[in-house]
Amino acid sequence: MAQFRLQGSKTLAVDMTGDLVKAKNGSMVAYTGQMNFKKLSGGGDGIRGMVTRRLTGEQMTVMEVKGQGTCYFADQATEINLVRLNGETLYVESDNLLCTEGTLKTGTSFTGLNGVSSGNGLFTTKVEGHGWAAVTSKGPAIILRVSQGMPLRVDPGAYVAHTGNLNRSIKSGAGWSTFIGEGGGEAVQVEFTGEGLVYVQPSEKLTVGGDV
Amino acid sequence: MAFTKINSKMIEARVVPGQRLFSQRGAMLAYTGEVRFTPNITGGQGGVMSMIGRRVANEDTPLMTVEGQGTVMFGHGGHHVQVIDLTGDTLYVEADRLLAFEGSLQQSTMFMGSQGGVMGMVRGQVTGQGLFTTKLDGHGAVAVMAHGGVFELPITPNQPVHVDPQAYVAHRGQVQNKLSTALGWRDMIGRGSGEAFQLELSGHGTVYVQASEEKL
């Protein structure tokens, strides 16, 4: 069993005893002991996954890390959030997925047309199974709970990941003022309904909808 | 101790008469008291010969001398600052990562090739660190910059540490460092894992690693 822990808030330490983890290509910063690094083509989901990822634009360059000792991962000084999955599914943008335990399965999932305007693309990465996953965020992420009757709206640029049984749909707050260039900068939002958790970062990446 | 951390990106230094500080030129943010900043043309200690040495070695980050009485705040480029106290041991660091250090420390330039021979030179080229590095020894405090937080990893004789060259910040102690390659046929056909080159540090000491692959 690989043991995930945080070394500070920006470095992930994984203690391994001969098992394997999948991590973003090139994200290792240091290790002790014996480690082997092998690139997995197409996100490590096999030929079918590779083709899907190519087609969907959710390309991930992933490497397989196997060995004995402690391996440290970090990505451009972003904050790291540990997510423990017990059979549920984590949806995350492929850019934000740093490392997953070998026991977890990754794949792509169709998010529907709403991805286009949010700039997140039509597809997102799906992680499922039992084990640890490490998700990066620009600045410390907050975790917001969504329950029945309490929908949550998130700026698409600040959305990082979500778990649970959630539906997402795009909501537009654009009015006539948006079209004459006087929008509040919040014309597009993602609405989550159902039961689950949403990870939101205190930073907004550039999205198509972010300008209006 | 001359340096106190204000937050993760700023330090405060106490300046007292008779004790000098060196800092990267332009890194002063604010000061109180009577403090003079003089650009240090020779780029550090040791006179003209050392200056030529540093110029040749490309380790000649512009430094300034800080003298007087008062407190000075230092910070640069929003980078994280790590204060390292030296008690008679040696710190190896790239010149452009040095934010400030006490005048009680001996500064010199070290040729990488002297450690590890030809491989040491190859190492410098591959890692982008150049052929030379800056060496500080003696008693005193050093402030080092890094992108993202810094963490320390101990190096013990039976546990060498491998570090991504881009994430390497500095190291101290009796440490042998060499470039270890994990180049395979995969790297030749562009299917590398991005971890083909690593610095292997062995011996006795500490290595400082930053949480990012970004060079300063």
Q: What is the pLDDT of residues A70-111, one digit of tens each?
A: 999 999 899 999 999 999 999 998 889 999 999 998 887 776
User: What is the per-residue pLDDT for B122?
Assistant: 58
* Residue B22 included in any domain: yes
In a domain, B20, yes or no: yes
Q: A170-193 pLDDT, tens per residue?
A: 777 655 555 565 655 666 788 899
Which CA distances in Å does A22 have to A14, A60, A70, A88, A208?
A: 11, 11, 14, 19, 31
Pairwise CA distance, residues B90 & B206, whole Å: 11
Residue B134 lies in a domain: yes
> Among residues 23-62 of chain A, which lie with CB inside 8 Å of chain B?
25-33, 35-39, 41, 61
Q: What is the pLDDT of residue B56?
A: 62
Evaluate whether residue B191 is within a structural domain: yes
* pLDDT confidence of residue A17: 93
Looking at the structure of chain B, the number of domains it has is 1
A63 to B195: CB separation less than 8 angstroms, yes or no: yes
Cα B185 to Cα B182, B190, B193, B200, distances in angstroms: 10, 9, 11, 21
User: In the predicted model, what is the mean pLDDT of residues A110-120?
Assistant: 54
Torsion angle of C-alpha atoms A197, A202, A206, A208, degrees rounded to 10: 50
Question: Distance between terminal CA atoms of chain B?
Answer: 26
Q: Which of A21, A32, A136 to mutate to test the interface with B (most CBs of B within 10 A)?
A: A32
Contact B142, B136 (CB under 8 A): yes
| Sequential DSSP letters for chain A | --EEEEETTTEEEEEEEEEEEEEETT-EEEEEEEEEEEEEGGGGSHHHHHHHHHHHT----EEEEEEEEEEEE-STT-EEEEEEEEEEEEEE-GGGEEEEETTSEEEEEE--THHHHHTS-SEEEEEEEEEEEEEEESS--EEEEEBTTB-EEE-TTTEEEEEEEEEEEEEE---HHHHTT---S--EEEEEEEEEEEEE-SS----SGGG-
Contacts of A212 (CB under 8 A, 6+ apart): A174, A178, A183, A185, A187, A188
pLDDT at B130: 58
Q: Which neighbouring-strand residues pair with B176?
A: B202
Q: Are A89 and A128 in contact (CB under 8 A)?
A: yes
CA distances from A42 to A98, A136, B100, B186, B207 (A): 15, 20, 45, 15, 34
Per-residue confidence (pLDDT) for residue B91, from 0 to 100: 92
Q: How far apart are CA B173 and CA B205, in angstroms?
A: 4
Domains of chain A: 3-211 (3.60.160.10)
CB-nearest to A76 from B161, B163, B214 is: B214
How distant is the Cα of A43 from the closest Cα of chain B, in angstroms?
12
Is residue B216 included in any domain, yes or no?
no
A44 pLDDT tier (thresholds 50, 70, 90): low
- What range does the domain containing B13 cover? 3-210
Work out whether the CA dihedral B144, B146, B149, B151 comes out positive or negative: negative
A-B contacts (CB, under 8 Å): 90
* pLDDT at site B41: 65
- As averages over each run of 10 residues, the pLDDT of chain B (216 residues) reads 88 91 89 89 62 63 86 92 92 87 86 54 55 84 91 91 88 82 58 71 92 81
Query: For residue A20, what are its two tokens?
Result: 């394997």
d(C-alpha A152, C-alpha A158), whole Å: 13
Tell me what the pLDDT averaged over chain A comes to. Answer: 82
Cα–Cα dist B83/B99, whole Å = 10
Residue A212's pLDDT band, with cuts at 50, 70 and 90, is very low
Lowest average pLDDT, out of A154-158, A192-196, B29-33, goes to: A154-158
**Domain assignment present for B72:** yes
Site from B81, B152, B164, B191 to mutate, A interface, most A CB atoms within 10 angstroms: B164
Euclidean distance between CA atoms A203 and B211, whole angstroms: 19
- Output the domain CATH number for residue B38: 3.60.160.10
Asked if residue B215 belongs to a domain, the reply is no
* The total number of residues written for chain A in this structure: 212
Would you say residue A116 has pLDDT above 60? no
Q: Is residue B154 part of a domain?
A: yes
Tens-place pLDDT, residues A51-61: 666 666 656 67
Put simply, whether B165 touches A (Cβ < 8 Å) is no
Whether B151 sits inside 8 A of A11 (CB atoms) is yes
Question: Which tops the pLDDT comparison, A40 or A212?
Answer: A40
Chain A residues with CB under 8 Å of B161 CB are 30-32
pLDDT score for B177: 76
CA distances from A163 to A42, A80, A101, A195, B42 (A): 23, 16, 17, 9, 58
Q: What is the pLDDT of residue A117?
A: 47
Name the more confident of A194 and A50: A194
Q: For a pLDDT cut of 90, what percent of chain A falls above it?
A: 43
Write out pLDDT tens, residues A124-148: 888 999 999 999 999 999 999 999 9
Is B1 in a helix, a strand, or coil?
Answer: coil
pTM value? 0.82
CB B70 within 8 A of CB B21: no
Distance CA(B56)–CA(A30), nearest Å, equals 31
